[in-house]
Structures are given as C-alpha cells and as structure tokens.
Amino acid sequence: MPDKEIEAVVEEVRKSHEPIEITAYINGEVRKTAKKNKKENPAHPEETVGYFPENTVEDVKEAIDYAYEAYKTWSKTPLKERKERLIKAKDNLEAQIPDLTVLMTREHGKAISDSENELVFAVTICNHILKVIDEVMEDEVIMDSDKGKLIVIKQPMGVVGAISPWNYPIDLCINKIVPAIITGNTVVVKPSPLAPLTVSKVIEIIAKEMPAGVVNLVHGPTEVGEELTSNAKVSKIGFTGGTATAKHIMKAASGNIKNMTLELGGNDPAILLEDADLSEESITRLVIGTFLTSGQICMAAKRIYVHESIYDTFLDKYKKAANNWIKVGDGLDKGVTVGPLNNKDQKELVEELIEDARNQGAEITKLGEIVDDEIFDKGYFLQPTLVTNISQEARLVKEEQFGPTVPVIPFKDEEEGIKLANDSIFGLSSSVWSKDPDNATRVARQLEAGYTFINTHGIPGIDIRAPFGGVKQSGIGREYGKEGLLAYLELHTISYPKSGAVPVTSF
C-alpha cells in the first residue's frame, strides 16, 4: 500500500478528531441501539475515537434466528457463487486499507505499519482460502475391490458464533468469518469492546456482499456472549481470547455439545542453542517477535532461554538490537515501532508483573527510545524492558504478561532448556535458534507447542499454509491451513459395501 495514501489519511485525521459511530448489523440491516459505549485512543486517552453499540440478549437472539434461517439457503448456494461474493468483499476491503489502517492505530494504539500489515494479512488470508477451498470441499473417494466403496463428503455445520479478541481484531476475526461462510455456514460475530471500531467496519464490508442474515454483527456485555455460546441454534463456536474466558464458554456450550475452535493464551518460549546466530539481523527478528504490538500477541516470545555459554554475549547484542529498533510513541507518528498498550488494565497488569520481579531481586533494563515524553506520560505507554536474574518460578515467567517486557534465563544444556521451555500450562508457539537446521528440528520435536518457529518468532514467521493452534491450555483445534477450513465442516461418510461382504464381528 503506497505510504502517501496512508499519510494523507493521517493528515486529515490530525485536522479533525470527530468521533465515528458504528452500529450492529443484523439480517442485512444497520441496527442502532439506545445505549452506546465510547472507545478512547490509548495514546491520547482524552480523545474519543468513536462510539459502538451495546446490544441486548434479545438482539443477539434475533441475529441468531436470522442466521439460522439464512443457513437453509446459503448452505445450498453453489461454491462458485460463494467464492464470487467473497472476492468482491475482499476487493472492497483492500480498497479501504488506508482509512482502516489509520482507524486501527487510533483505537488500538499499535504502530501504523503494524496496523497496515494486519489489514494486508487479512486480504492474504482471503486469497489463500480462495486458492484452496475447491480442493478442501472435494469429496474423498476410498475404493477397495474386496470391501467396496466409501465417499466422504464435507457439509457445513450451521450457525457459527464468532468471538474475536482486541489484540489482532481484524485477522483473528477474518480467520473465523471467512472459513465459516465460504464452507456454507452463517455467522454471528461479537468483537471485543476493547477494539470494536475497525473490525466492525470490516465485518460490514463482508456482510454487504452476502445475502441478508449470512453475516451478522452484535456488540454487548457478558450476557450477549453467553447467549451466543449457549443458544441451541448455534452449532459452532470460534473463539480467540483468554483461557479463563474459554472455560466459561465451554461450560455455556456444553448444554448443546457444540463444536469448538479455541485459540487461547500462550507463554511462548524462545530457546537459543549454543550455536545460535547472534548477528544483528537474527537478534532483531527476535526483538520484533517479542515487542511487536507492544508484546500484545498470543504467539509473541514471552520467555527467552539462552545457553549459558552465549548468555552474556546475547544480552549485549539483544539490548543493542532492541535499542536500535524500539521507538515508543503515538502509532501515527513516523518511525514509531511500539505504541501504547491497548488499555489501562493491561498496562497495570504488566507493571504489576515487572514490580513483582523487581521485588524478588530481578534486574530490570529499559530498552529503546521514548519519542515524546509528554505523550508517553499521558497515554497507556510502557517502555519495553528486559528482565534478568529472575527465577523460573516468578510470575513474569509463569504467567502470560501480554506486554512489552521479557525475562531472559540461562540454561546449561539442551535437556534443561527443553525442560524449562515445557514448564508451562500453555503450549501455543515456541522457537528454536540454531545455525544447524537439523539440530534445531530435533529440539523442536521435543517442545510441547502447536507451532514452532526456527530462527524467527511470531508474526514475522507465521505461514498460513499450515495449521496454527495450541496444546495444553492454549486451545482446541486449529486455524489456518486446510485444517482451518475443515474446522467449519462436518465429515459425512457414505458407504457402499461390496455385495455379500462378511460383517466384522470382532477385532
């Protein structure tokens, strides 16, 4: 996307701070509500970026009913037409990237380059799905001359309840909505109230290219989410968010035994082996994998384990790379790489974890440059920190900090490094750093994670051709890859046993 287009939008926004207003979208119609909530700019909390609705339980019931009725037709709509509609929606989304990028930075806080990348990635997700969907939807035929013939067909599930988080609201919503509708399901989406504006505009862009009722958007308090996850007409839940919230969702959904895809928290380790590449380019990748989006990424590097033989050298090089890359400030300003945290509560949590480590004797090193002290003091900013001399049992190591701080711990050999990395209730992603790909792969195979990067970490290394998701308390199911589409399909086997075949009576 040409920078000048985004720059022009930034200049226009700087001249006028008029709040925008978004609405719910139910059965193809804009739906206004009596009660509204405001979303502030985390870099300038006194500035209201926009207002979003607060729907009621009755609203979400109505949206589900419309989606349930729309499913009866949409599920039978030819794949060719569904693809054509998605292509139009995707093209409309791409055309609006400059405006959406600036809005995202204003409501979320992330650097403008980060916001732009998120929107570009959303288009990439759509393009990938359009490329592979025909193959995914094909029947699987199993032939055996002795036993007969089997056909495995793929059928949509029904109404999907999609609940998306605030840290990457566009991509983590797109990877639910698009797989759901392209496979013939209908959706009711509830975004996070901490980043509701841009994602709502994106959802409406998609919804306008679909028949009424196929894509519905609601906002609201806990009760709205509870209705969406417990309603008997909802067949599938796609949720990205915290593990504690997921436990409530699982309980709410249990009454109807709903299918679920849960992408949850992570406490992702990076392991630097004795032969890790400590070049500036390599270490900068790790810095970005740690502090992009102010560390508010589920797959960010949240614990770094370094072989003791290179520990001191690594610290020096990491600090240097971080100081070169990190520029803390308003995400709309040129050159800023780390914006504020999204909200005050998150800032206070990260401060609490850092202070707990300090009280236990840990050494706290501030990283990077603060671009504007006045803005920094007023917004939800935290200067990124490196934490050393810290115990494996410290809260900052055990808990998902979801912010711009990272503990670094030495290990004596691979066995200890692997043990420390696996010492967590989480298992989302991880990374191994080594000049020897075979050695790195051998170590990666021993890690308890759903996705392991080699010599990179997080957003810079994610590849949507393969499934992504967690083990242990980091989730259930997978997104991306063909598996992310199959997650929204039921497998239905049709059997043609060979005439006269003897039934199996024992094993």
**Proportion of the chain in helix, strand, coil states, percent, rounded to 5:** 40, 25, 35
Give strand pairing partners of 142. 150
Pairing of strands 426-427, 429-433: unpaired
> 3-class SS at 270?
strand
Angle between helices 79-95 and 112-137 (to 10 degrees): 170
Structure tokens at 455: 């010599």
Strand intervals (E) in 42-133: 44-53
Buried b (16+ CB within 10 A) or exposed e, 7-20: eebbeebeeeeeeb
Pairing of strands 186-190, 159-163: parallel
The rounded distance, in Å, linking the Cα atoms of 410 and 395 is 17
Which residue, 477, 483, 495, is CA-closest to 153?
Answer: 495
The rounded distance, in Å, linking the Cα atoms of 62 and 68 is 10
Longest pairwise C-alpha distance within the chain: 84
* 173 assigned to active site: no
Contacts for 303 with CB less than 8 Å, ≥ 6 apart: 267, 268, 269, 270, 397, 406, 407, 409, 421
Among candidate residues 118, 173, 298, 399, the one labeled active-site is 298
Is the Cβ–Cβ distance between 285 and 275 less than 8 Å? no
What DSSP element (H or E) covers 158?
none
* 448 assigned to active site: no
Contacts for 154 with CB less than 8 Å, ≥ 6 apart: 136, 137, 139, 183, 486, 489, 490, 491, 492
Among candidate residues 62, 209, 263, 479, the one labeled active-site is 263
Residues marked as catalytic: 263, 298
